[in-house]
């Protein structure tokens, strides 16, 4: 039998972690301080396994066995035999630190303590503990059963063997582990802040509505979901907490500043799909949002670029491939960046030497 795993927090993330751990063969103890939350999660996971079996995505016997491995418990002391404890509670440093210190009194010194935090410092979570080397980040993404990526985050005190074990565990659960240092937002959430932030700025400035901005990101940007759809899926309370955490950890760098629009939705309880309303309405029968559209326009035959495009040079190359003639002013600046041949090769004759086009 595989080692026991305990999951603290029976929300969407905790339930998802419990599901994949059980499906990988581990006996799982699921605990939540909210009355009946763990029991409801166990029933929901059992229903999910039944659905997977009915669709032929999981063998019926395996589904039943996986479901039977998950047990709701009513006290942290019931997790005493776990070899790995994954906490997936509220994204609050004080709450998580308090939980980890309580767990340290209960579990064996060899038990690994992993946090599913999205952005909080693993170094700070482990500070002051008797065995800080066993504290590590194991950041899953929502929905846990479907999303392959897991960030394995090491704080300053995290033992290398701890991180190695967690990475191997994630891989054995069918995930793709990536290593990260305990920096603000780790990898994904650090990169994602501008994705949300710029969309929120455009909305606050009245550039377009939520549905239109999401449509632009999907259809022109190639994203599977727009920023507002994704925030509603994650939960606006969670997204706002992560944004604030990264912003504060980066010494209030304005690039990561939270938006009043986020704050207002959290204050109103418009948390997204889980509350039935967020940036969009998820009530039964609610009409899906429609983006604003314009009639198709004739593509331009010519475009003129003034100045050095800098980091936008790849965009110029794509534009040049789709426009019949492209006249570049000050093309000589591009040559200093080694871009002239790649860009000028698509220009009509006579324009490789620079100068203002007609």
Give tens-digit pLDDT for 237-250. Answer: 999 999 999 999 99
- pLDDT tens figures, 239-291: 999 999 999 999 999 999 999 999 999 999 999 999 999 999 999 999 989 99
Catalytic residue among 67, 118, 239, 245: 118
> What ranges do the domains of the chain cover?
5-181, 188-275, 302-344
What does the pLDDT average to over 107-115?
97
* 89 alpha carbon, distance to own chain's centre: 16
| Per-residue pLDDT band at 358 (split at 50, 70, 90) | very low
Give 188-275's CATH code, choosing from 3.40.50.720, 3.80.10.10, 3.40.30.10, 1.10.1040.50: 1.10.1040.50
Picking from 100-109, 216-225, 314-323, which range would have the lowest pLDDT averaged per residue?
314-323
Residue 190 pLDDT exceeds 70: yes
**Domain 5-181 and domain 188-275 have a common topology:** no
CB 100 within 8 A of CB 128: no
Predicted confidence at residue 266, as pLDDT, reads: 97
What does the pLDDT average to over 100-113?
97
Catalytic residue among 87, 91, 104, 151: 151
The residue written with tokens 């998802």 in the block is 16
Residue 58 pLDDT exceeds 50: yes
Predicted confidence at residue 294, as pLDDT, reads: 84
**The two three-digit tokens of residue 119, written as one number:** 């952005």
Active site residue 26: no
Residue 334 pLDDT exceeds 60: no
Q: How many CA atoms lie within 13 A of 54 on its CB side?
A: 6
Residue 354 pLDDT exceeds 50: no
Q: What is the pTM of this model?
A: 0.80
What does the pLDDT average to over 306-312?
82
Residue 117 pLDDT exceeds 90: yes
**The two three-digit tokens of residue 216, written as one number:** 């632009």
- Strands (E) across the chain are located at 5-8, 28-31, 70-73, 84-87, 112-115, 135-139, 149-154, 176-181, 302-306, 325-329
The residue written with tokens 């959430």 in the block is 189
Crossing angle of helices 37-54/60-68, nearest 10°? 170
Picking from 201-215, 249-263, 333-347, which range would have the lowest pLDDT averaged per residue?
333-347
| Per-residue pLDDT band at 327 (split at 50, 70, 90) | low
Catalytic residue among 189, 236, 239, 327: 189
Residue 339 pLDDT exceeds 70: no
| DSSP 8-class letter at 147 | -
3-state secondary structure string, 169-224?
HHHHCCCEEEEEECCCCCCHHHHHHHHHHHHHHHHHCCCCCHHHHHHHHHHCCCCC
CA-based nearest residue to 22, from 86, 74, 77, 78 = 86
Active site residue 189: yes
Q: What percent of the chain has pLDDT over 90?
A: 80
Picking from 110-114, 200-204, 293-297, 333-337, which range would have the lowest pLDDT averaged per residue?
333-337
Classify 258 as helix, strand or coil.
coil
Residue 353 pLDDT exceeds 80: no
CB neighbour class for 202 (10 Å; exposed up to 12, middle 13-18, buried from 19): middle
Residue 94 pLDDT exceeds 60: yes
| Per-residue pLDDT band at 336 (split at 50, 70, 90) | very low
Active site residue 151: yes
Active site residue 236: no
CATH class of 5-181: alpha beta
Predicted confidence at residue 335, as pLDDT, reads: 39
Residues 6+ apart with CB under 8 A from 14: 7, 8, 30, 32, 41, 86, 88, 89, 116
Average pLDDT taken over every residue of the chain: 89
Task: Determine the Cα–Cα distance for residues 242 and 187; give it in Å rounded to an integer.
Answer: 13
| Per-residue pLDDT band at 308 (split at 50, 70, 90) | confident
Predicted confidence at residue 328, as pLDDT, reads: 54
What does the pLDDT average to over 134-155?
97
In angstroms, what CA-CA distances link 56 with 49, 52, 59, 148, 288?
Answer: 11, 6, 7, 21, 30
Residue 330 pLDDT exceeds 60: no
Picking from 26-30, 78-82, 177-181, 343-347, which range would have the lowest pLDDT averaged per residue?
343-347
């Amino acid at each position: 039998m595989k080692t026991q795993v305990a999951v603290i927090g029976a929300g969407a993330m905790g339930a998802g972690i419990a599901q994949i751990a059980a499906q990988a063969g581990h006996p799982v103890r699921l605990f939540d301080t909210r009355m009946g939350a763990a029991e409801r999660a166990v029933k929901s996971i059992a229903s999910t396994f039944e659905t997977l079996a009915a669709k032929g995505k999981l063998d019926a016997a395996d589904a039943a066995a996986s479901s039977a491995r998950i047990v709701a418990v009513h006290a942290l002391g019931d997790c005493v035999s776990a070899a790995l404890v994954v906490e997936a509670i509220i994204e609050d440093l004080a709450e998580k630190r308090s939980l980890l210190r309580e767990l340290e009194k209960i579990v064996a010194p060899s038990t690994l303590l992993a946090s599913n935090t999205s952005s909080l410092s693993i170094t700070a979570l482990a500070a002051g503990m008797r065995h800080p080397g066993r504290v590590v980040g194991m950041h899953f993404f929502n929905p846990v059963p479907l999303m392959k990526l897991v960030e394995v985050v090491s704080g300053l005190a995290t033992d290398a063997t701890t991180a190695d074990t967690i990475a191997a565990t994630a891989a054995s659960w069918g995930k793709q582990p990536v290593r990260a240092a305990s920096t603000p937002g780790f990898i994904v959430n650090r990169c994602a802040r501008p994705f949300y932030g710029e969309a929120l700025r455009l909305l606050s400035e009245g550039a377009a509505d939520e549905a239109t901005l999401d449509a632009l990101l999907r259809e022109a940007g190639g994203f599977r979901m727009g920023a507002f759809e994704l925030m509603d899926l994650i939960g606006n309370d969670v997204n706002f907490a992560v944004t604030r955490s990264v912003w504060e950890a980066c010494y209030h760098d304005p690039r990561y500043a939270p938006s009043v629009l986020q704050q207002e939705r959290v204050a109103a309880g418009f948390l997204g799909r889980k509350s039935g309303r967020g940036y969009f309405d998820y009530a039964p029968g609610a009409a899906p949002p429609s983006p604003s559209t314009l009639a198709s326009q004739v593509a331009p035959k010519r475009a003129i670029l003034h100045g050095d495009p800098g980091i936008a040079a790849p965009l110029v190359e794509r534009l040049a491939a789709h426009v019949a003639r492209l006249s570049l002013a000050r093309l000589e600046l591009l040559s200093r960046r080694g871009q002239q041949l790649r860009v000028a090769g698509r220009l009509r004759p006579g324009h490789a030497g620079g100068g203002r086009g007609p």
